[in-house]
């Protein structure tokens, strides 16, 4: 079967990573979590007390950062490694989540991440999710999916995810974080979040995980038929 690139974009807490992982596993494709890359970069800045608004700090940091995805035999997926350390769990912390949109808005940082993402897509047969995958990273991707969901549903999903890791987190903290990220992601000068003109919209407000996967697989099948 024809190997393709599948680009999944959309708002925070719309289940982009969940769908991307499912598709990759079902199609035997490689899953690349672009968000994890920006989170790892953010973690590096925070740990080293660097200022992402200072261009000198940005250039110095990018020279020190080495990112790679390494297969986790226990989960069956790839973990984000930063400079030889598995940071998959650490980067999901609210402290990182609160700053990642600010860091990801810096043009030099986006250029750094995008260049790596494009190299990962050279062999095709990948599923990548993020904010600008279908518009900037892979504008020629065979299938572009833009995911969305009701605002309150997204907040509840994010709260459930964060509460499992940090029982002290409040829903108002999560609401503020999500709304701030939405604004920064959609208003930044470099590669703002937007729906590609040729993307298909997947609103999963009232869909189960299985239902959204079946819809996406149907779209994949239709694309592959056209390419045969």
Pairing mode, if any, of strands 5-10 and 126-130? parallel
- Whether 79 and 69 have beta carbons less than 8 Å apart is answered as yes
CATH superfamily of 5-217: P-loop containing nucleotide triphosphate hydrolases (3.40.50.300)
The per-residue pLDDT for 123 is 73
Going from the first residue of the chain to its last (228 residues), give the mean pLDDT of each consecutive group of 10, the final group possibly shorter: 88 93 91 93 98 96 94 85 96 92 94 91 86 94 97 95 89 95 91 94 96 97 81
The per-residue pLDDT for 94 is 87
Domain residue ranges of the chain, discontinuous segments joined by + = 5-217
3-state DSSP call for residue 127? Answer: strand
The per-residue pLDDT for 228 is 62
Closest CA to 158 of 23, 13, 45, 20: 13
């Amino acid at each position: 079967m024809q190997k393709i690139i599948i680009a999944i974009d959309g708002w925070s807490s719309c289940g982009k990573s969940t769908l991307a992982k499912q598709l990759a596993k079902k199609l035997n494709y490689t899953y690349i979590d672009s968000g994890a890359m920006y989170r790892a970069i953010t973690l590096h800045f925070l740990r080293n007390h660097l200022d992402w608004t200072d261009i000198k700090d940005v250039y110095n940091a990018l020279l020190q950062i080495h990112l790679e995805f390494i297969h986790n035999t226990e989960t069956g997926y790839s973990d984000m490694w930063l400079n030889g350390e598995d940071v998959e769990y650490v980067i999901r912390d609210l402290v990182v989540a609160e700053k990642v949109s600010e860091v990801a808005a810096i043009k030099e940082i986006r250029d750094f991440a995008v260049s790596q993402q494009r190299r990962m897509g050279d062999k095709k047969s990948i599923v990548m999710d993020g904010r600008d995958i279908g518009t900037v990273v892979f504008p020629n991707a065979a299938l572009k999916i833009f995911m969305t969901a009701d605002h309150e549903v997204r907040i509840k999903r994010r709260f459930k995810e964060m509460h499992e890791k940090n029982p002290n987190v409040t829903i108002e903290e999560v609401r503020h974080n999500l709304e701030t990220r939405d604004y920064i992601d959609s208003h930044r000068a470099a590669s703002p979040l937007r729906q590609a003109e040729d993307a298909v919209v997947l609103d999963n407000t009232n869909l189960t995980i299985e239902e959204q996967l079946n819809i996406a697989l149907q779209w994949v099948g239709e694309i592959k038929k056209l390419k045969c």
